[in-house]
Amino acid sequence: MTKLNTLRRDATAPAQWLVVFLHGYGSSGADLMTFADFWQASMPEVAFVAPDGPTPTKDGGFQWVGKRPGHDPKLYDDAVAAQPGIDIFIADEHARLGLDASRLALVGFSQGTLMALHLGLRQLVPPAAILGFAGGLVGREHLSAGITSRPPVMLINGELDELASVYGMHVSVKALAEVGVVAAGQAIPDLAHAVDANALIIGARFLLSAFAYRAKHGVAV
């Protein structure tokens, strides 16, 4: 993977946490960095980074994995192929900030949620949290053999989302629970394939709770 073009927003206090945003298909890091506009006041110790995906799309923007139906097994293969380069990117960001790997949260939208789950469940050091909007797991049949970390997970989905269904969110939460991950799903009424103020508020509360728990208890052995 080539070096990723990245937007960064520094913490307003000494950085204690790193949030990595992973965008959806045909989008860019700039789209998800707008979440930091809502969150930064309540998260002064968080540094936010939002890379662009490695591959331009024919529709404009970038992607992490191919544009495929949610049931296509090649999505899992794409995620496996994308992981090493993103892992290197995250390690470089930790080094830049002087933070250890336990001080990470992954936040994704759509196929960015797919990647956040794939990456976060396969780290040597569990992230503090994985927060996903409008997306879910791929390769569930590979999860029990591949999982190496069990961070808390929150999935948030619009009830009217026709691209990433609420049913898929519930299936992902069930699959995570079956391998010992503490996971929750939240459906947002009247929301399609998007993120609204309610979703951002719920997501912020989850992240702050996860950060507080990790700061108090550390990483479970």
| pLDDT tens digit sequence for 168-177 | 999 999 999 9
Q: Could you read off the pLDDT of 77-129 as tens digits, one per residue? A: 999 999 999 999 999 999 999 999 999 999 999 999 999 999 999 999 999 99
Query: What is this structure's pTM?
Result: 0.96
Residue 178, number of CB atoms within 10 A of its CB? 12
Q: How far is CA 95 from CA 89, 110, 221, in A?
A: 10, 28, 23
d(CA 186, CA 161): 13
Say whether 57 sits in a helix, a strand or coil. coil
Residue 44, both tokens: 């002064």
The total number of residues written for the chain in this structure:
221
**β-sheet bridge partners, residue 7:** 50
Which residue has 């980074």 as its token pair? 49
Question: What pLDDT does residue 71 have?
Answer: 74
d(CA 118, CA 136): 10
pLDDT at 44 over 70: yes
d(CA 98, CA 17): 10
| Whether 27 contacts 50, CB under 8 Å | no
| Whether 119 contacts 81, CB under 8 Å | no
| Whether 136 contacts 172, CB under 8 Å | yes
Question: What pLDDT does residue 91 have?
Answer: 97
Domain map (residue ranges) of the chain: 6-216
Q: Is 189 exposed, middle or buried (0-12, 13-18, 19+ CB in 10 A)?
A: exposed
Q: What is the largest CA-CA distance in the chain?
A: 46
Within the chain, how many helices (H) and strands (E) appear? 6, 9
Q: Where are the alpha helices (DSSP H) in 147-196?
A: 166-178
> Which residues fall within 8 angstroms of residue 185, CB to CB, at 6 or more apart?
154, 155, 156, 157, 166, 169, 170, 172, 173
Domain 6-216 belongs to what topology?
Rossmann fold (3.40.50)
Question: What pLDDT does residue 2 have?
Answer: 62
- What share of the chain has pLDDT > 90, as a percent? 91
Which residue has 């009247």 as its token pair? 190
